[in-house]
Structure 1
Amino acid sequence: MSGIYIHIPFCKQACYYCDFHFSTSLRKKDDLISCLIKELVLRKNELVNETIETIYFGGGTPSLLSPKEIQLIINTIQQNYSLKNNLEITLEANPDDLTSKFVDKKAQDIFKEYMSVGINRLSIGIQSFFEQDLQMMNRAHNAIEAKNCLTLATKYFENITIDLIYGIPKMSNQRWKENLSIAFDFGIKHISSYALTVEPKTILDKFIRNGKYPSPKEEVAKDHFDILINETQKKGFIHYEISNFGIPRYFSKHNTSYWLGKKYLGIGPSAHSFNKIQRSWNVSNNIKYIKDIQANKLPSEIEKLSVKDQFNEYIMTGLRTIWGVSLIKIREEFGEMNYTQLINNAQKFINEGLLNIEINEAGKKILKTTEKGKFLSDGLASDLFII
């Protein structure tokens, strides 16, 4: 089973914290869509023996595309790839697009049209239900639009995930709890939540260096993370990946395939692909991407993954999930020496209560983070890498 990711590199405006590839100019949108379709055809042989179980429209802001434009892309996938019945098709969307997209349509018509072209899961970028947070991040929507969007979305879609950001300067623990409470009140069954991070060369990075904004504090993020775990647990959510919480049966199938090491194809500027033995990524430049695809050239770079790369990536993704790192897989795929080294290196973290060796449902030993170690999972993983 494999997945297809479609990168839509357009946004209305730049969020201050974002370092993803996008353009605020829609001038090349039609050309870009044509090239996404052409790239899907050019690369169909890469998954010729695979069944596609997920399609994910990410960005950028995919909800800047009309349902008809989305349908053109889905139709191309249907015509060129083998698809699983009832596959998951996710559309990332911003609240303002879903509530006021076309002046000649009622807002609810947008939801119906996206459903009609095959979208069955929405990923809505709420980030916060409070105006001061949204303004601080330069989000395109306001707090009223965030709530209005979910009022409508939950009438038409059962499978909805929302993004929420914590660790925002001046966000109190109480306001963070209220964000979560509002999400629960809407009956949301999946939440992806991330600490506000300062990426190099972003507007937020510049503002902090110039003294315009305070830096996020790790202790605040840690408090919010603990609240997130406790509050979602009370509502029956499973913390199945470090930043993802879902009611059973509502986990993201697409993102789970990444964490479990399945193959995926990334289409569009800056999109990444993975086939277990190598990783590739497209150029992060819309004009160059369009020019190359129109010339029947794939604008990508390829990195063949060494055994060390594969080991380190498995440790990183495994420790972020409830499925952990399979010790039998380490021994069988990476050898006795790497297995022994992993156990030895992990022991001090086991002694500190940050890692644990458990028996999973299949009766196999797995290495997992403890509750205490979850917030530190990326750092723990890097300490266990083959150098």
Structure 2
Amino acid sequence: MAGIYLHIPFCKKKCHYCDFHFSTRLNDRKEMIVALCQELVLAREDFIEESIKTLYFGGGTPSLLSAHELNIILKTIYKNYSISSEAEITLEANPDDLSIEKLKDFYALGIRRLSIGVQSFFDEDLYFMNRSHTALEALGSIERAQNVGFLNISMDLIYGSPTTTDRMWLKNLDIALKTGVSHISSYALTIEPKTILFNRIRLRKAPIIQEETQARQYELLVEYLEHAGFIHYEVSNFGRKGCFSRHNTSYWKGLPYLGIGPSAHSFDGFKKRRWNVRNNRLYIDSIGDGLIPSRKEQLSLADRYNEYLLRGLRTLWGVNILEIKRNCGQRYHDYLCKEAKNFIQQDILKRRKMQFLLSKKYWFYADGITSDLFFTQKTIDNDK
């Protein structure tokens, strides 16, 4: 198995754009740690023979946990699973959590990769997003982490906010490069339903997000980071050579993974997936009864084909038509080859031997373009 993802569903405050599952109420924190460990034991029957290559603490805000709490979880993992001696262990962190003492404690636990949620080096951006840190705290956290010995640091940045001018965005990138981090994940500010930002825009209390601005700032991002020697290996991810996120790369390559915690997803690498309930109390109570509160889905051939395209065309590796033939059958192989011809003529897709790749200039629109290649009910009806 590629890895284990652990969802830590707590945050200090609610970022206006966030639609991930979390709670700002920490009163059931101890119970949650116990439940996460219990789920690790309950889930091991499906994965006990597999060697784990990556561990990823996501959220929420995993850096809210103490070293003692993280150690309880890590001990449970090492007791119940076979962990590679070279496993990549990543912790997502907010800058304001990363004191020198806490960083030393994390390092002592064997955590060697940090994903720090900077988002911007401008306080006006951070205020608009309702982040809990300042620009100065962001810079300080990176410097402290490097001084402790963290060599593998990823930074999250957000572009396309109505508070972010092109000049500010270029300055963000300049500061990011000067910190010396080895990996940058950068995302467009998105308007997700049921978020504070969605409601503020709906009520005209915040400016509308401009797609043209986001597309332009994405182009600036790609040009700036590639010129600096970063490899653009996935739509939103850039890394120095040898510094790609091994955990997330396994997702894009369709490898199996186990998700632990409320809202976490699991995938067997072929046709089965499950996802846990998005409710802390229900999750804790169900796990206490010895049951993992999840829904399961058996992927159809069309699902497997569509998801393979959606993952692969977001990356520099693209999709392999022989893999499609092997896992989905001749019909899907032939369908993609037929549908791809028009995209190749328009230079939207490129073909290199057995690989189909999305042209880099269209990566910002990857999901929309890929959906045009999906195998849908309309496709089936047209074949009749």
Partner of 2:20: 20
Deviation at 1:57, TM superposition (A): 0.3
* 1:214-240 deviations in Å (ceiling 9; x for gaps): 111111011111011111101111111
Partner of 1:45: 45
State the distance in 1 between where 2:226 and 2:91 align: 26
**Equivalent position to 1:166, from 153, 159, 162:** 159
Structure 1 residue 34 corresponds to structure 2 residue 26? no
Matched residue type, 2:362: G
Deviation at 1:87, TM superposition (A): 0.5
Structure 1 residue 123 corresponds to structure 2 residue 115? yes
State the distance in 1 between where 2:160 and 2:352 align: 31
* 1:110-158 deviations in Å (ceiling 9; x for gaps): 1111011111100000000000000000001011111111111122200
Partner of 1:277: 271
Deviation at 1:50, TM superposition (A): 0.9
Moved more, 69-78 or 168-177: 168-177
State the distance in 1 between where 2:287 and 2:95 align: 32
State the distance in 1 between where 2:103 and 2:327 align: 46
Structure 1 residue 319 corresponds to structure 2 residue 310? no
Partner of 2:81: 81
- Kept after mapping to 1: 8 A contact 2:4/2:258: yes
State the distance in 2 between where 1:352 and 1:377 align: 15
State the distance in 2 between where 1:225 and 1:166 align: 7
Q: Secondary structure at the match of 1:290?
A: helix
Deviation at 1:47, TM superposition (A): 0.8
- Where structure 2 has 5 or more consecutive residues not aligned to the other structure, the ranges are 377-384
Matched residue type, 2:288: Q
TM-score norm. by structure 1 comes to 0.95
Q: Secondary structure at the match of 1:322?
A: coil
- Kept after mapping to 1: 8 A contact 2:2/2:52: yes
Percent of aligned pairs sharing the same letter: 50
Q: Secondary structure at the match of 2:364?
A: helix
Partner of 1:102: none
Deviation at 1:329, TM superposition (A): 1.1
**Equivalent position to 1:245, from 238, 241, 246:** 238
State the distance in 2 between where 1:332 and 1:40 align: 32
TM-score norm. by structure 2 comes to 0.96
Deviation at 1:331, TM superposition (A): 2.2
- Kept after mapping to 2: 8 A contact 1:91/1:119: yes
Structure 1 residue 268 corresponds to structure 2 residue 257? no
Deviation at 1:340, TM superposition (A): 1.6
Partner of 1:362: none
Q: Secondary structure at the match of 1:372?
A: helix
Q: Secondary structure at the match of 1:279?
A: strand
- Any residues of structure 2 matched to 1:1-387 within 5 Å, and which? 1-98=1-98, 107-155=99-147, 156-275=149-268, 276-359=270-353, 365-387=354-376
State the distance in 1 between where 2:250 and 2:298 align: 20
Matched residue type, 1:95: P
Q: Secondary structure at the match of 1:343?
A: helix
Matched residue type, 1:145: E
Deviation at 1:42, TM superposition (A): 0.8
Matched residue type, 1:205: F
Q: Secondary structure at the match of 1:165?
A: strand
State the distance in 2 between where 1:333 and 1:303 align: 17
- Kept after mapping to 2: 8 A contact 1:273/1:279: yes
State the distance in 2 between where 1:293 and 1:263 align: 23
Deviation at 1:170, TM superposition (A): 3.4
State the distance in 2 between where 1:176 and 1:308 align: 40
- Kept after mapping to 2: 8 A contact 1:353/1:373: no
Q: Secondary structure at the match of 2:169?
A: helix
- Kept after mapping to 2: 8 A contact 1:238/1:248: yes
Matched residue type, 1:94: N
Deviation at 1:212, TM superposition (A): 0.8
Partner of 2:379: none
Deviation at 1:78, TM superposition (A): 0.4
Deviation at 1:332, TM superposition (A): 2.4
- Where structure 1 has 5 or more consecutive residues not aligned to the other structure, the ranges are 99-106, 360-364
Deviation at 1:109, TM superposition (A): 1.7
Matched residue type, 2:150: F
Q: Secondary structure at the match of 1:7?
A: strand
State the distance in 1 between where 2:89 and 2:209 align: 34
State the distance in 2 between where 1:330 and 1:4 align: 26
- Kept after mapping to 1: 8 A contact 2:128/2:163: no
Deviation at 1:19, TM superposition (A): 0.3
